[in-house]
Structures are given as C-alpha cells and as structure tokens.
Structure 1
C-alpha cells in the first residue's frame, strides 16, 4: 500500500499531541499505563491513558531484541461497551497517535462502543527507535537524467541503507505486516480483552486484512476505508487511467472547470511530452527563505501526480499545476503544503534518505509475479508510468524480506467487515478494493460517491454508517454522496 500524502520525516521519537498528567475516574490503568489528558493541535482535550507493551522485534529469532509498542487508550463512554477498537494508521509509517489530532471527533464518537485505541505500530511515532538512513546518493538538481539513472540512484541508496541498518543492529526482517498483525494479538492480551475491533485505513486496511488470517479468532469485526489488498501494495497503472476517466466526469459537472479541463488525459500527456523535450527550470522555496533552482522533469510530474490524485481537493491543485505548465507558466507549488509532495521534492540536491519501517514493510508485502508482469506491461502506456509506488523499483534488492505468495492471497473469513470506498480515490482504486474483499463472506460494501482516499471525516453519514455497523444493525444505504470541490482554476 502505501500512501500518506507525503509521510513527514520522523527523526527520533515524536509524540504528537500534548500529554499531561491528570486524574480521571472512569478508567483504571492497565500494566504500563498512566493517566493523562490528550490535547490536540487545535486545543481539543480528552482524558485517557497512555501506555505500552513489549514484543520481540523478530519472533522467529529466540533472542531477538525487545520493542516497546506505544498507544493511547480513550476509555469507553457507552453503557454497554464492546471490545476495544484499535485504530490502524496508513502509510505504512503513519502514527496512530498523531491521527487523533485530525480525526478527534471520530475517535470520541466511537467511545460509545468500546475503548478506542490509537496505536503507534512498530517503527512509527512513539514506537520508533529506528535510525533514519541518509545515503551518499544525490540526484542532480539541474541535470536532465534518464529514468533508468534516476531509479539506480534510489536502488543504490537502498543498498547503502540496508547495510547501514544491519550495522546498527536493526533486524529488518521484523518489520513486516505479519509481525504487525501479531503485535495486535499481543495488544489484545495486554488489555485482557477476549476480542478486538480493527479500524483501519489504507495500509491500516492491509494490516487488518492480514490480521483476519493471522489472528482471526481474536477479531470481532473490522471497519475499513480505502482498502489495500494483500497483493495490492504496488498499484496497477491501468486503474489510474480509469480513475482519470471518473475525475473527468466529475470535472464535467462544473461548467467553468469543464472549460478549463476539457480533456484531462490529453492535458497530462501534452505536459509530459513538453517536459520530456525541455524540462522546466523552477525555484523551490526553502524554510530559511532561500530559493533553490531545480529542473522539473516529466518524471517529477508523474511522481507529484501519484500523490495528488489521492483526493478530489488535491486533484484540483494538480490540474492547476498541469494547466500552468501547459500555458507556459510556472506551477504554484508553494501554495500547497509540503506534505502533499513526494519525499525529497522540496529539498533538491540533498542526499536520498529512507525510513526503515515503511521501506521494509513495502518490500516485505511485495507483489506477486503476475502483478509484477501486469505493472510492467501497463506502465508502458500509462500516463503516470510505474511511479505510483516507488517500492516497485526496489524489486529484487532484499528478497530475504519478502513474505511470499501465500501472504499475498486474499483472506477468507465470515467475520463482519464494513468497507467504505471513494469513487475518486486515486490511490486505492474502487475496483481494486472490491477485489480485496472477494474472500470475505460477511462484508458490507458502501460506496461514497465523490470521496477520495481520506474519507473518514468527509461526511456525518459516514459516522452514522459506522455506528450502525458497530450496533449490528442493517446498513440499508450503501451509497453515500458528497459534494465535489471546485475544480475550476484558482
């Protein structure tokens, strides 16, 4: 899987949300827990408990080092609470604790049905003791280079980082989705719960699907959005083409946007051809106020597009970027937060750096031989090529980490599963999400028209649907519709 617009680089241990000791009376701390008040970025507060449990880094190694897995637990408020609800962040590499800041209302609403737990998976957030790797590889900022050379810079960076982490005593074979799933079992036992409810998005759904097979008897039910199947870490380029057709239909509903973007695919193709022939020299603002010169190439736009197609709002910015270049102008990249862009874009001329957990997780989930052939064949004519998931280009470099073909087969289960899928999700395409559910006999599929990849907080109806699911009541409305953003040029 992988997508958070652009995962922020986390150095050391980062705990997002102010934790202060406080007294609460409605929950008793479990082992290694302490009372506190969580304060969000916008000063919302909730009493809870912060805690940790310990697991082996690699369960197949008898003397593997121990990891502390941190979490925040918000006690249930309902009169008849059910099993604990564990939030599984996306990425891979996202912090579940950080997610409370921007999904606070949903975390609080779900307390009606059980304790709600924001988990920092191994190698993320407060559970991250892994050093980042800064390689010696620097992609030239002002030199036109081929895709093959660009990819080799990154492959060599990974080779260096694999050696770096090994020398630091990090067992990368412990950072995969199966170990993550076994951590969920350890958390259930730590809490003394008979079963758990899994609540996951994007890579978090990938983890939840793996848990359905690995610890099925410990799972009560599952809530998913933007599902990434176990053989869907690397996305199919042809699905992007279908997504762009859906985006065009959405744009066509707005006369001013339709006039500006009568043919999105043709626009993208023109710009890519233009940049391939003559890259565009731009300046990228730095945090210290300086500007760095950079040669914007066709490949850069393919990587930027791979991030921005996630949601309709970001897709509107993307269309503006392409339109500007088509008109001979410089795109207004500085008007969009840095987190939306691919890693390293805003720091040209600096060494390629990698984070251990997301790098290892994506390599471990990998892709089947059939999917690899599909991606290679489809990428030849696809507008975004094979840049949707960069781990595709790491293929073959760390075969010992790969979880194998059995891992990538769809789980089979009759446990209740709710899946919410956005029609304008440009990262985990709605067709692929349906395929990921094929072995789940008790799945309820809800289509959210006009929603993108990050849809949980997009409408009150989404929360109402989740409430019905947790109450075991029938979900009769399986299509929800959201308003579209304004796609017209800004």
Structure 2
C-alpha cells in the first residue's frame, strides 16, 4: 500500500518515517539491486583546453518511496571528479535545475551543449572533489518518467479553465501510464534524502551545494532538512521553497527593467509608440482582453492553412522569453503582426510527439505554496497585466497529482547560519530578483550579488566578464568567507533584436 499524505497531514510524519526507514532492506526491495548500492565505472574526456579529465560515472540505488516498506528500488546517476590533491574543503555537490535536467551529458557527449556544460563544472575542481547528481525520475542512468502529450484545440483561445482541465487530465494520464511506479515518491523531501544518502555512500561527512534555479530549491531543501551535512552553498536563479509560483508583480518589475534599456535601443527606436515598450504591452493586453484574434497561417508540418485563435491568456503566457527578443515580440503584436506568434502557438498546441517530463509537475504540486503566499498570488497587483497563467493550473490540479504536499514545516524558511552566496539577475523573469532578496534575511551568513541585466542563467556571463569574481567564489566555497565580494555587478546592454518588418512609415 502506498502512503499518500493529504494536505492537512504534517510533513513531520514524513520525516519520522524517513528516520525509521532510512533505506529499504534487501527483503523489502523489488528487483536485483539493493537500496544503498553503488555501481561505478571510470572514464576520461577532454576539457576545452585539451586536458585529459578523469571522472567516475555511477548509479546510486535508492528506495522509490522511503515511507513504504516495500518500495521499488530505482537508480540515480551521478558523476564525480576527484580533486588533484586534497584541499581540506568539503566537496561540491552540483544539483541540476529544471526540474527534469541532467548534467551527465558533460561526461558522455561531445556536442557543443556538453562542452558548455563541462566548462561550467570544471572551475569547482579548485575547491575539491566535484559530484554532479541526477534527479530521481529524470536520469539517463536510471529512469526518465514521461507521459504522452495531448493536443490542444486551435479554435479556442487559451484560458485558465482549459489549462486547469488539461493539467488534471495530464495527472490522470501520468498515473495510468505508470501503474508499476509509486509516483508519490517523486517529491522534494525524497530528493533531499537522496543527496544525504549519496554523500554518505561516497564517504563525505559534509558537502557544499551548488544549485541553479530548481537546483537552488533542491539545495534549500537539503539545508532545511539536513543542515548538519552542509558546509556552505552557492545558489543562482534562486527559488525559495515557498516560491514555486512567482509573484506576477515581481515578474512585471523585471520586464520594466528590460524595457528601460530597450526603449533606448537604436534598433528599436523607430518602432516605439509613445510610452515605449511597456505602453505597447498595455495596448496589446487591452486589445486581447476585448476579444481574441483569429490568424490563418501555414502549418509547417502539413503545408495546409490552419486558423489559430489567440487570446489574452495566450499573450500572458508568451511574455517570458529572452530579454533580447522580448521587446520585438511585444512590438510586433502592437502593430498587429500576429503570424509568427500564431505559428509558434500552432506548433505548441499540436505537439504530441514530445512527451511531458513528469518530474516538473510532480515536484511543483508537492511543493505547492503556503496559505499566505496563495492569498498574495491571487490578489497580486500584477495579475491585471500578467494574469495567473504561470500558476493557476498547477494550483487547480494539486489534488490530482500523487505527490504529497511537503508542508509548511519544510516550505517556510527558518534562520540558518550556513554561509550562502546567491547570484541573481534583475532581468530574471523565471525567478525574479525579489526571491533572493526575500530569502537573504534568513541566512545570517548570507550574501546576494545582484547582477544588473542578468537573466535567469547569470553565472556564466558574470564569470566571463569578471574572472576575478570566479576566483572569489572558489575561495568562498573553500572557506565560507564573503569579505571582498561585491553586492552588485553589471552586464552590458544586449543587442536588442528588432521586429522582422520595416519600421512604420518606411
């Protein structure tokens, strides 16, 4: 029988069960592998500089659900680069973002994406051992949980009600597609337990954490549940545990900061209405609030003409795109150039070939939000312009997903002395800057470096522009010392992409 905690159950019960059943015994497992078992192989690859890099690539076996005595055993991939010589510093555990990301391609592949991934990992060798950890349910050395995607109708605009109905249907499809799996085990408490168990299996008493986006949220869960094993943490694109759903007004503030520079771009100046990009955004919002538009475009797959109905929620859901192209998107719609957008929506609604990665909705439904944040989200001033498309469907479908709510005992922050360094861009529309600023007071040894014009993935561009800062970060990971670190750095103004049509009047 699978334990399913309802929304009113305390997560303390989960934690006690994790203590009572830390690892399933051999008699409690299914299959040939035992929980706690490690399978490791060695390999080499070339670094961007041509150096031969030796690494270990392994699979760590864990219970699918530690609250069940007869849990299935699943595999989680990991990689380890051993330090050239002992440094005395805790090893750096790198936790991927997403959810539904794996960084093991850095060791197994040789394309540009793998090279870029490896380049981002290598600097942490100067700290000590480096361990890259996969996510349960999304690991090429374990299992990748997916479900088929349903096509969405073209003749209706997107709506909150339709989104919620589709998300509930997706949850039902997911459960039906995986009758042999305990999907309730794919929650953030289990993710944190995986890190603790792997660190112990590898022989480490304490570790440092490096997490970007969801990786920061995962890191915060480890710090919340097992602070005794965490020496320090480096976070970026920060997502506090109670901030799985971002405040619309905070996202809007990020868009305003992007628009300030966009309004001064020579490439965009001929297209700007009075009031600039934000005035154009408001105009498009009011137009679509008055009624949807129908756009006929050619289907790239079939070559036939298809009519797509686009509404306000379609627009609100399409606003979070790269900073360099976001103003051109808004300005194109301002001038009623809908074709490119319609083709984009056509492809999205009719895409049934790319399956849904289940880890993201399983994790998000388990994280949920506190009652206080739920109220703030539903009454936020930014809803008028950005709407609730970012979170409404997940909130409406929480009960349909099998993962238990982790509870406020884990979700809400507590005071912590763990040294934490956070990088956060003020152009980040995926996890707004206010996330990091709101979390900072809870860490007595915390520091936020605000990156002006930094987007969601901000570490690489900052380190490329300020290589001396990377050396300071390495020092922080070795010692926890934040003295001398700046509170703000600045990236250059990007080259804003102009709309694909001539400026009006030309």
CA shift for structure 1 position 82: 2.2
Moved more, 410-419 or 95-104: 95-104
CA shift for structure 1 position 47: 2.6
Partner of 2:474: 467
RMSD: 3.1
Give matches, 1:113-152, under 5 Å: 113-134=127-148, 137-144=150-157, 146-152=159-165
CA shift for structure 1 position 409: 0.8
Partner of 1:243: 254
Partner of 1:453: 456
Give matches, 1:81-480, under 5 Å: 82-98=89-105, 101-134=115-148, 137-144=150-157, 146-165=159-178, 168-257=179-268, 260-261=271-272, 262-276=275-289, 277-283=291-297, 286=300, 294-306=308-320, 308=321, 314-330=322-338, 332=340, 345-346=347-348, 348=350, 350=352, 354-378=356-380, 381-389=383-391, 390-398=393-401, 401-460=404-463, 461=466, 462-472=469-479, 473=481, 474-480=483-489
C-alpha distance in 2 between matches for 1:349 and 1:108: 37
Residues 63/150 of structure 1: CA separation in 2 closer, same or farther (3 Å cut):
closer
- TM-score w.r.t. the length of structure 1 is 0.82
Do the aligned partners of 2:423 and 2:449 also contact (CA within 8 Å) in 1? yes
Residues 410/361 of structure 1: CA separation in 2 closer, same or farther (3 Å cut):
same
Do the aligned partners of 1:379 and 1:385 also contact (CA within 8 Å) in 2? no
Residues 467/283 of structure 1: CA separation in 2 closer, same or farther (3 Å cut):
farther
SS, match of residue 68 in structure 1: strand
Residues 105/284 of structure 1: CA separation in 2 closer, same or farther (3 Å cut):
farther
Q: Which structure is larger by alpha-carbon Rg, 1 or 2?
A: 2
C-alpha distance in 2 between matches for 1:39 and 1:331: 44
Partner of 2:14: none
2:67 maps to 1:60: yes
- TM-score w.r.t. the length of structure 2 is 0.79
Q: Deviations over 1:332-384 (max 9, x none)?
A: 4699xxxxx89x95352649953322111110000111111211122784322
CA shift for structure 1 position 317: 1.4
Q: Tell me the number of residue pairs that the alignment of Structure 1 and Structure 2 aligns.
A: 446
Partner of 2:13: none
Residues 353/109 of structure 1: CA separation in 2 closer, same or farther (3 Å cut):
closer
Residues 248/145 of structure 1: CA separation in 2 closer, same or farther (3 Å cut):
closer
Q: Deviations over 1:73-105 (max 9, x none)?
A: 122235625222111111111113246543322
CA shift for structure 1 position 147: 3.4
CA shift for structure 1 position 164: 3.4
C-alpha distance in 2 between matches for 1:444 and 1:220: 15
CA shift for structure 1 position 304: 1.9
C-alpha distance in 1 between matches for 2:94 and 2:119: 14
